[in-house]
Structure 1
């Protein structure tokens, strides 16, 4: 299928050929018939993509600080690689989609195949959208009209926040697409509406709709006009839908208001607010968030958990339905806003010169008569007779930033990369010369050429995909963790014992040059050692999926397992008991600020400090080892200092062992031999991470069987 994307690195807007996305649980797969180009929002994204590095940096000063902090801790080369990797991630354009449901995911009952729906899907021939971001289209609403659903909801949410009453006078600043819809909704609400815009055509359309529309370029002073129109009282409220960096708009808006007036910002403007403008009149100011309640809430959008209507009357989905109902009843007429209608293949006529476009609403039409595929061939290669042929499931940030660059250095044979949406996998396939991009990972499991599967999906999918790979007689590398529950781990253990497959987990730290140097210096004697390992992990907001125990497993199971494996490697022993304590009055809710005690079979004692409340300018990882009146201190995989040893100090560029691990894995897969990490060790590390959580719940040491 075809999809419009924005290349953030060079600024090109492209029509990319990608696999049809896989329908997910809680979502519907939609075959697109129309999509609306939101010129204001999309113009900003296109212009950002075309900006050079310095201009991009000026627009995102907070990101610049993060980059500088990373340079201090990780070094220049890893930082540059991380920045370039981010810029290499394509940005799908569009969020006003109309089409027909062609597949329904598990847990979706309110939609059926054949339903006409509007959603916030991208400009693509097929889109997979969560059910709470989809609404059915009334029979008397055309596909063209329905493309205004999402845009209309943005304006409607601004109106709801302003909470106008019948007869009030409201100003709309900026009569672009959202501004015109907003103004018409205010008229339908019984308000007197004044609109300001510098585009004569937009002013003309607004006047035809009954809006008192003014073009300030013709010499009208906006504040004085409002004073005259309201007999010196001022307007009851202002909704700002303009996009302008100037601070003048917010000042003028305040001066237009009556005492205790309200201002709602829907657009993007300069916000250097003067206290004096707001103080005397006690003016309220609020920023509107997109389509309405539920936006950016994973519980609502991704998991499909609706807000009870008795407590949240208007969610984003109910706003979608309200706009469609308004169009159906004729209280919102969007047809005059359509400037042009073009075929998807003619997208460049819209995106070629957006900066100078005078269009209000441009609609893309789709011809979806061709049969579409879930797999796209990128490069034709022959893999017959080869060993170590790889299929990668998952094309997220870790795959693009770490796995693929290292596999490329090793000249690995990669036949497939799978991503549920199809786009991210296709971009990486083109960049790294991978033969096929697919949205159906089962194609990898069914292909006899592939003998090694990489699983880099979200954590809750790891165990299932490992089992499927083993059952398909494939060896598998799974990015940590191996499993999230004892039940999943038991199933893997049983399947492994009945197969000839090899399982590897992404515990790369033991393969880092500095870790291997430490191991060499400590020697092979089974003398107990003391280990203090500190991970300055950094803060992740609580709503992010890694904190969800059912999806991410939490940060100890999901990431702290790295250091459990590293300690086991240095100790050359198995964990036999675990005790964990976390910070705060409710430690079970704060497992990303915890200390873990590990007791080893050979008497070794290890402490893992996993903290998220430290400074980002401090080293992320540090390991100290104490043994026989000697000490080793490793700092952030860049420096190793030895005390009591003869020599041994090392400095290098940051190397966390990924290249060495993948090299060892490919050598083992091609030439045979023992697994690169013993399966018993993988099991022990995973059980130890489970025991840490159990220890926190029970408040005692947990013994590992």
Structure 2
């Protein structure tokens, strides 16, 4: 299928060929008929993509600060690699989609195949959209009218925050697409509407809709006009739908208002607010978030959990439905806003020079005739007779920034890369000359050429995919953790014992050059040691999926397991008991600020401090080992200082957490055979220890690892 994307590195707007998205539970697959180009929002994205690196930096000063901080802790080269990797990820354009439902995911009961629907899907021939971001289209509403659903919802949400009452005077600043729709909805609500814009064509359309429309370029003072129109009282409220960096708009909006007036921002403007403008009249100011309650809420959007209508009357989906109803009953007429209809193949007519476009609403028309495919060949390659051929499942940040660059350096042969949406896997396949991009990972499992499957999906998918892979008699590498529950782990162990395959987990720290150096100088006598390992992990917002115990497993199972494995590597022993305590009065709710005590078979003792409340300016990782009157101190995988060792006092390295060595050994093992790169019993022991840590926190005692 074809999809419009923005290349943030080169600045090109591209019509990309990608596989059709994989149908997931809680979502519907839609065959697109029309999409609406949001010229304001998409123009900003396209222009950002075309900007050079300096211009991009000026537009995002907060991101520049983050980059500078990362350089201080991680070094220049790793930081630049991370930045360029991020810029190399394409940006799908569009969020106003209309089409026909062609497949329904598990748990979706309100939609059927054949339904006409509007959604926030991208500009693509097929889109997969969660059910709470999809609404059925009334029979008397055409597809191109329904394409205004999301745009209308953005304006409607601003109106809901404004809380206008019948007869009030409302000013709309900016009569672009969202502004015109907002003004008409306000008029339908019984308000007196004044609109300001500098575009004569938009002023003309607004006047035809009965809106008092003024072009300030013709010499009208906006504030004085509003004062005169309201007999010196001022507007009851102002809704800003403009896009402009000037601070003058917010100042004028306050001056237009009456005492206790309201200002709601829907657009993007300069926000250097003068206290005096708002103080005397006690004006309220609020920013509207997209198309309504539920936006960016993982539970609502991706898990499909609706808000009870008695408590949240207007969610984003119900706003969609309200806009469609307004179009259906004639209170919102969007047809006059359409200025061009363009076939998808001619998309450059719109995107070629958006800065010069005078269009208000551009409709892209779709006519997908080819049967959608789940696998697209990117590079023709032969894998006949080759060993260690790789298939990758998952195309997120870790895959792009870490896994693929290191596999490429090690000469790994990759036949497939899979992602649920198809776009990220296609982009990475082109960048790394991977033969096929797919949205159906089962194709990898069925392929006879593929020997090794690398899994980098969300944590809750790891165990089931590992089981599927080894049942297909293929070896597997899974980015940590191996499993989220003891039941999952037991199933894997049982199946593994019946197969002649290898299972590896991404415990890369033990492969780091400095870790290998530490292991070497410690010797092989298996003497007990004390280890203090600190991970200055950094704060992750509570709503991020990693914290969800059912999806991410939390940061101890999902991340601290790295250091459990590292301590096992250094001690040469296995964990027999775990005790964990966390910060705060309710420690069970704060597992990303915890100290974990490990007891080993050989008498070694390890403390892992996993903290999320430290400064980013401080080293992210630090390991101290005390053994036989000797001490090793490793700082952030860049420096190693040794005390009490004959002939060895220090070592240094570029920041290297072991990924290169890990994949070097993994590929060699797959091609030549031999023992797994990490003994499977150690992987199982570490996984059990991570479970025991959580149980210890619950019970407040030591937990044995059996």
**1:656 matched to which residue of 2?**
657
Does structure 2 retain, via aligned residues, the 8 Å contact 1:475–1:503? yes
Is residue 692 of structure 1 aligned with residue 693 of structure 2? yes
1:675 counterpart residue number: 676
Residue 401 of structure 1 is matched in structure 2 by 401
Separation in 1, partners of 2:274, 2:75: 42
1:640 matched to which residue of 2?
Answer: 640
Cα deviation for residue 526 of structure 1 reads 1.7
Q: Supply the distance in 2 between the matched residues of 1:674 and 1:175 (Cα, whole angstroms).
A: 68
Name the counterpart of 2:347: 347
Asked whether 1:96 is paired with 2:112, we answer no
Number of aligned residue pairs: 705
Does the Cα contact within 8 Å between 2:576 and 2:704 map onto a contact in 1?
A: yes
Q: Alpha-carbon deviation of 1:105?
A: 0.5
Matched, 1:358 2:352: no
Per-residue deviation, 1:356: 1.3
Name the SS of the counterpart of 1:379 in structure 2. Answer: coil
Q: Give distance in 2, aligned partners of 1:421 and 1:58.
A: 31
Q: Does 1:701 align with 2:705?
A: no
SS at match of 1:448: coil
Query: Hey, what's the Cα distance between the residues in 2 that align with 1:452 and 1:167?
Result: 69
CA distance in 1, matches of 2:234, 2:72: 53
Q: Residue 625 of structure 1 aligns with which residue?
A: 625
Offset at 1:371?
Answer: 1.1
How far does residue 20 in structure 1 lie from its aligned partner after superposition? 0.3
**Which deviations, in whole Å up to 9, do the C-alpha atoms of 1:513-533 show, x marking residues without a partner?**
100100001000121000000
* Higher deviation after alignment, 648-657 or 228-237: 648-657
Matched, 1:502 2:502: yes
* Residue segments in structure 2 that go unaligned for 5+ positions in a row: none
Match of residue 80 from structure 1: 80
Instruction: Tell me which moved more, 341-350 or 643-652.
Output: 643-652
Secondary structure in structure 1 of the residue aligned to 2:466: helix
Counterpart of 1:613?
613
Distance 1:370 1:673 in 2: 46
Aligned to 1:327: 327
* Distance in 1 between residues matched to 2:607 and 2:653, nearest whole Å: 26
Say whether the 8 Å CA contact 2:619–2:636 is kept in structure 1: yes
- For residues 661 and 98 of structure 1, the distance between their equivalents in structure 2, rounded to whole angstroms, comes to 46
Find the aligned partners of 1:47 and 1:342 in 2 and give their Cα distance.
Answer: 21
1:185 aligned residue = 185
Alignment-derived partner of residue 317 in structure 1: 317
Structure 1 residues 648 and 668, CA, compared in 2 at 3 Å: closer, same or farther? Answer: farther
Where 1:476 maps in the other structure, the secondary structure is strand
1 CA distance for matches of 2:223 and 2:668? 74
* In structure 1, C-alpha distance between the alignment counterparts of 2:702 and 2:222, rounded to whole Å: 71
d(CA) in 1 for partners of 2:465, 2:371: 28
Question: Residue 243 of structure 2 corresponds to which residue in structure 1?
Answer: 243
Counterpart mapping for 1:41-190 below 5 A: 41-190=41-190
1:60-94 Cα deviation digits (max 9, x unpaired): 11111111111111111100000000000000000
Following the alignment from structure 1 to structure 2, what is the Cα–Cα distance between the partners of residues 150 and 18?
25
Distance 1:666 1:273 in 2: 58
CA distance in 2 between counterparts of 1:679 and 1:407 reads 22
Structure 1 residue 230 displacement after superposition = 0.6
**Which whole-Å CA distance do the structure 2 matches of 1:257 and 1:666 have between them?**
68
| 1:220 CA drift (Å) | 0.5
What is the alpha-carbon distance in structure 1 between the residues aligned to residue 341 and residue 688 of structure 2? 59
- Secondary structure of 1:656 counterpart: coil
What are the Cα deviations for residues 436-459 of structure 1, in whole angstroms up to 9, with x where unaligned? 000000000000000000000000
- Whether 1:267 and 2:248 are equivalent positions in the alignment is no
Alignment of 1:146-545 (within 5 A): 146-545=146-545
Question: For residues 151 and 589 of structure 1, what CA distance do their matches in structure 2 show?
Answer: 39
Question: What secondary structure sits across from 2:251 in the alignment?
Answer: helix
Please state if 1:9 is matched with 2:9: yes
What are the Cα deviations for residues 413-466 of structure 1, in whole angstroms up to 9, with x where unaligned? 100000000000000000000000000000000000000000000000000000
Q: Which residue of the partner structure matches residue 577 of structure 1?
A: 577
In structure 2, C-alpha distance between the alignment counterparts of 1:25 and 1:336, rounded to whole Å: 38
Task: Give the Cα–Cα distance (whole angstroms) in 1 for the partners of residues 369 and 329 of structure 2.
Answer: 32
CA RMSD, 1 decimal: 0.5
Partners of 2:319 and 2:227 lie apart in 1 by: 33
SS at 1:580 equivalent? strand
Q: Residues 545-591 of structure 1: CA distance to partner in whole angstroms, max 9, x if unpaired?
A: 00000000000000000000000000000000000000001111110
Per-residue deviation, 1:154: 0.1
Cα offset, 1:368, TM superposition: 1.4
Structure 1, residues 193-224: CA drift from partner, whole Å, max 9, x if none?
00000000000000000000000001111011
CA distance in 1, matches of 2:411, 2:629: 44
Deviation, 1:58, is 1.1
**How many Å apart are 1:504 and its aligned residue?**
0.3
User: Following the alignment from structure 1 to structure 2, what is the Cα–Cα distance between the partners of residues 115 and 567?
Assistant: 56
Q: What are structure 1's unaligned runs of at least 5 residues? A: none
The answer to whether the 8 Å contact 1:475/1:502 transfers is yes
SS in 1 for 2:231: coil
Q: Residue 648 of structure 1: CA displacement?
A: 4.3
Contact 1:172–1:193 under 8 Å retained in 2: yes
**Runs of 4 or more consecutive aligned structure 1 residues displaced over 3 Å after TM superposition:** none
Report the 3-state secondary structure (helix = DSSP H, G, I; strand = E; otherwise coil) of the residue aligned with 1:19. coil
Alpha-carbon separation, structure 2, partners of 1:588 and 1:441: 36
- CA-CA distance at 1:638 after TM superposition: 0.5
Distance 1:350 1:524 in 2: 67
Contact 2:643 2:649 in 1 (8 A): no
How far did 1:502 drift?
A: 0.5
Question: Which residue in 2 is equivalent to 1:21?
Answer: 21
Which whole-Å CA distance do the structure 2 matches of 1:546 and 1:618 have between them? 23
CA contact (8 A) 1:509 1:656 kept: yes
Question: In structure 1, how many angstroms separate the alpha carbons of the residues matched to 2:611 and 2:78?
Answer: 22
Following the alignment from structure 2 to structure 1, what is the Cα–Cα distance between the partners of residues 668 and 247?
61
Contact 1:521 1:648 in 2 (8 A): no
CA offsets, 1:616-662, max 9 Å, x none? 11110000000011100000000100011121411110111111011
**Matches of 1:162 and 1:526, distance apart in 2:** 70
Contact 2:575 2:686 in 1 (8 A): yes
TM-score (norm 2): 1.00
TM superposition score normalised by structure 1: 1.00
1:589 maps to 589
Counterpart of 1:103 in 2: which secondary structure?
A: strand
